[in-house]
Chain A
Amino acid sequence: MIIQFICRAILLGVPLLYGSTGEIVTEKSGHLNLGIPGIMYVGAISGVVGSFLYENSCGNDIANMNPALAVLIPLLCAIVGATLMGLIYSFLTVTLHANQNVTGLALTTLGIGLGNFLGASLINITKSELPSIALTKTSSFFSAKLPFADDLGWFGELFLSHDFLTYLAIIIAIIASFVLNRTRVGLNLRSVGENPATADAAGINVTKYRYVATCIGSAIAGLGGLQYVMAYASGVWSNNAFGDRGWMAIALVIFALWKPSVAIMGSFLFGALCNANNYIQGLGTETQELFKMLPYVVTIVVLIITSMRKKREHQPPASLGLSYFREER
């Protein structure tokens, strides 16, 4: 029961981990990308379109499908789709100095629209009875487990039974944490986010750092959408099913105090909080709805506490949300 609860929490938390790792990398460059919910949608739908085309080209027969291709095609599609969205965002905010909040929100509108439109079009093509599209074959490759995981009892279930995107999420978060805190690139990136004018004076290419960080961040976030469809929803895409996970990922960034390593445990905690209502006995449907606000309440509490304590290392990047124009220094 407890093991099952934790596994479920991890499964629910991984899309948030991808989203928030991506957003942390982006925010460290000084970009408050409110387009993340849209970008995760685009990542998810690009992966769906990719695997849909591949499944069709194999005649919808699992025997014809190459496991490596079945995984790589959606993965690449998700990354490319999400990166393109990141590119639009960076072009508007860095090159055209557009307002970040406005650009991000418009991108979210665009991304959710794209996801629902393409999703509905695919459903139309398949002439499916249900308002959803099932890619269970591709999903079976994504959620393949280690063969010996079942033999190891609770240990296997807890640590080894997850899909590979879960492990990838943790690895990416650890790498992001390492790069941000222990390498020169990370130091430069953080200085761009804290004070772009100083960074520029020190010879750091602010434009390049902001573009690259935003695109990489978007690509990571896009994988979160893919993981949701392929692992959590077993390859079933239905419109709007992704819900507000994108915003929760942004909440997690604050909760994790802009540290990818904290985001790992934070995402599992958020997953647990989202899911707690199903495991507490004797709750009515209406009380369950109240429980679902827990992650947001916790985030607000963290936000308030960090702003009250004013510890330097717990603050958002100083120039978060501001665009940088060299001649305005």
Chain B
Amino acid sequence: MTNSATIKAHREPLFHVVKRDDMPAWKAWLIRAVTIVIAFFLVGFLSMAVTGESFSATYEIMFSGVFGRLFEGRFTMLWKYLQEIAILLALALALTPAFKMKFWNCGAEGQALMGGLASIICMIELGNKLPYPVLMAVIALTSILAGAVWGIIPAIFKAIFNTNETLFTLMMNYIATQIIAYYVYLKGGGSNVINPVSEGNFPALGGNDYFINILIVTVMTVVMYIYLKYSKQGYEISVVGESQNTARYIGINVKKVIIRTMLISGALCGVTGMLLVAGKDHSININSVGGQGFTAILISWLGQFNPFIMVIMTAIVIFLRIGVAKVADTALLNSSFSEIIVGIVILMLVGCEFFIHYSIKFRHNKKEGKA
């Protein structure tokens, strides 16, 4: 090492970063809220720069794009908005127990597709043969089973051989995609579309097609909150997530917890697939989930594994996705602009965690520093 480098090493740097774990929860949420506000301003300015509209006009278009003519008593857009929230939130909820266990389930996409596949097979093959309630029960059971199987395969290998689950679940997505592609070609008669199936759809409760989806996801949110916070299994999940050695020491069967949690995670993804197919699209294609499995990972993480905060995060992301796409459409631009915006906002939220978990200490005594 040269002489100057030695001197450099001795000088105290201008600032250094210290870990802190004493920040009260309200302060942490204040930082996140401020980041969201800044992000929304940035979204407005970026949209202005691209479209040439004014700031207020941009947000007007966004609101009308998301909520429609809400004040004139038309709720169609609002229902659609809630429906989109329901699907993404369901995926995020499904992933949360696995994440809390530090099991990176990147396979929500595939697990949901397999659940959806089970639904559509039942709808097509059994649609006319079973009475409606039985058919719905069979759809629910097979979808849950299909998602669970897709989730449990990586979990078993993780538990026994410690196989890397991030990469395993990622690969499982594409196998599921190809199976869907196969089935769609098989049933679509050579084209890559399956026409909407009219059997085995969710009933339109209260005159609204999406009501059941939203109801199911609302129940899922509450149950997941209770499961994670107050059940014994939820406690085991958080212990395994914190430290596998601690878990083993206090007598938790880690392998069992990993497999059981992924069973739940996969099963809930399967449920989401059913909501997508039987409740929303009544058909399936390789883009049915459309990358939402990955967005759900971000939602689950941004929501700090708390289902109720995840509701807020999902609402924000979907608002940006629909609203900014509308802004881009109005300006005759490609709606992928909304993906850019969602990406930027999420990166900002990811970055702001730094200020929650760490603090920057500046060099306080300048004379000492120069010595």
Contact A99 B175 (CB under 8 A): no
CA distance A109 to B342 in the complex (A): 8
Contact A287 B354 (CB under 8 A): no
A98-B354, A101-B104, A251-B167 known; A120+B178 contact, CB < 8 A: no
Contact B342 A307 (CB under 8 A): no
Q: Which of B163, B166, B181, B297 contacts A321 (CB 8 A)?
A: B166
Contact A290 B343 (CB under 8 A): no
Return A1 CB to nearest CB of chain B, in Å. Answer: 26
A325 and chain B: residue at smallest CB distance: B19
Write out the residue numbers on chain A whose beta carbons fall within 8 Å of the beta carbon of B333. Answer: 117, 120-121, 124
| A32 contacts chain B at the CB level, 8 A cutoff | yes
A 283-329 contacts with B by CB, 8 A? 284-287, 289-290, 292-293, 296-297, 299-300, 303-304, 307-308, 316, 321, 325, 327-328
| A113 contacts chain B at the CB level, 8 A cutoff | yes
Contact A120 B336 (CB under 8 A): yes
Write out the residue numbers on chain A whose beta carbons fall within 8 Å of the beta carbon of B337. Answer: 113, 117
| A108 contacts chain B at the CB level, 8 A cutoff | yes
Write out the residue numbers on chain A whose beta carbons fall within 8 Å of the beta carbon of B162. Answer: 307
Write out the residue numbers on chain B whose beta carbons fall within 8 Å of the beta carbon of A32. Answer: 166
Return A298 CB to nearest CB of chain B, in Å. Answer: 9
A 26-76 contacts with B by CB, 8 A? 32, 34, 38
Contact A285 B171 (CB under 8 A): no
Write out the residue numbers on chain A whose beta carbons fall within 8 Å of the beta carbon of B294. Answer: 105, 108-109
A 190-209 contacts with B by CB, 8 A? none
**Which candidate, B57-65, B306-314, B344-352, is the interface stretch facing chain A?**
B344-352
A-B contact pairs, 12 of them (CB 8 A): A101-B297, A105-B294, A109-B298, A109-B339, A110-B340, A110-B343, A110-B347, A116-B339, A117-B336, A292-B178, A303-B163, A303-B168
Other contacts beyond A116-B334, A293-B175: 6, CB < 8 A: A98-B351, A110-B344, A124-B333, A284-B185, A297-B175, A307-B162
User: Which residues from chain A sit less than 8 Å from chain B, CB to CB?
Assistant: 32, 34, 38, 88, 92, 95-99, 101-103, 105-117, 119-121, 124, 239, 244, 247-248, 250-251, 254, 284-287, 289-290, 292-293, 296-297, 299-300, 303-304, 307-308, 316, 321, 325, 327-328
